[in-house]
Amino acid sequence: MLDWIKYLPFSIKYKKAVSDVRGPYFSKPIKRKWLLGDNELMFSAPKPNSIYSLSHSGSKIERVNPINNNILEGCWETLYPGNERGPESDWLTQLFYFDAWFFVGPWFIGEQARLKVSGILNTAIESSNFYTGNLFHPKVFESAVANILDITYGYKRNGSGKLAHYRGPLNWKVIPISSCVESVVCDIHCIGNSSKDNPTLLRKVFFPISPTQFVCINFDFGGTEIYNDKIRSEPLFKLCDSIINSITLEVGEATKAEWGKVKATCTEMHVTNTFGELPWPIKYEKPSRSRNEFDVTPNQKKLAT
């Protein structure tokens, strides 16, 4: 009965050892809507709130919200996935949504975990092979997902060593979000700071939204050790799964027409139900900027004639 006080988002002190973690404070889901071209994506998520404090131990997030703007037509912050060990990306990657929910321990001991979510729009650049393809084709879409995962995570190594910093995709699952468009849900494990047996988690939802664009919704578990910290990870999983399971896409007529063009020539319009783990880390050698060397040694056969 007194949970509203016991788990009030107010921090007096920080204590790591807890037996119970709860959040978000406003737990009732609220319907959200994104406008993507002539499509509407809907999902339910709780109202976010900050953790307040008089001792500088509070927490807050700078939110990004598209509100009623058409995401495919907006001007959003450009992100630069990947690192210096990999090639340039085939995609213009833009952040159009960011939010977070905090989880606290009892009696004002402060933040214990957080679930961060971001909405990313990926648009194929003109020099990319994906620019002339069609992401509504399942095989093209699968290749695009693998490509963006490789670019973002595949080239990163653990420090200066030879081991991968990430592994994935794991737990690949296909979820229909409309009568025609399917989404892919998969996990990326961050293992570079610990091990394969003790990873932190990024969960991702991908779906195509136009012939050259797809959306990625990222769920970041904020560094919580998902296997060794059940107290903190279980409420994160519960909230993450509830949001993903609420996602639906109302497809507009123009988008249906684009999808129909692919269906007219493709006998199998379903994304694969199985997708193996990618072989990370990837070795990348930057193209040489030096001029090609030519063999100037006289051709002995020609000289003999």
Q: Which residue has the higher pLDDT, 181 or 55?
A: 181
Radius of gyration (C-alpha) of the chain in whole angstroms: 23
In this prediction the pTM is: 0.90
The one-character DSSP state at 127 is T
The one-character DSSP state at 283 is P
Cβ neighbours, 10 Å, residue 76: 18
Tokens of 269: 């319009």
- Averaged pLDDT, 122-140: 96
pLDDT band at 167 (very low <50, low <70, confident <90, very high): very high
Residue 240, C-beta contacts closer than 8 angstroms, at least 6 positions apart: 115, 203, 219, 221
Tens-digit pLDDT profile for residues 224-236: 999 999 999 999 9
Residue 90, C-beta contacts closer than 8 angstroms, at least 6 positions apart: 124, 125, 127, 128, 129, 130, 147, 151
Contact in structure between 74 and 96 (CB atoms under 8 Å): yes
First-to-last C-alpha distance (Å) of the chain: 103
* Among 147, 115, 277, residue whose Cα is nearest residue 214: 147
Indicate whether 89 pLDDT > 60: yes
pLDDT band at 304 (very low <50, low <70, confident <90, very high): very low
Tens-digit pLDDT profile for residues 257-272: 999 999 999 999 999 9
- Averaged pLDDT, 183-202: 93
Indicate whether 239 pLDDT > 80: yes
pLDDT band at 16 (very low <50, low <70, confident <90, very high): low
- Averaged pLDDT, 59-68: 91
- Helices and strands (H, E) in the chain, number of each type: 5, 12
pLDDT band at 71 (very low <50, low <70, confident <90, very high): very high
Indicate whether 73 pLDDT > 50: yes
Indicate whether 12 pLDDT > 90: no
Query: Tell me, what's the pLDDT at 301?
Result: 45
- Averaged pLDDT, 176-200: 93
Length of the chain: 305
Tens-digit pLDDT profile for residues 246-255: 999 999 999 9
Distance of CA 103 to CAs 21, 27, 174, 289, Å? 6, 11, 29, 51
Peptide bond into 48 cis (omega under 30): no
Q: What are the phi and psi torsion angles at 102 (to 5°)?
A: -100, 145
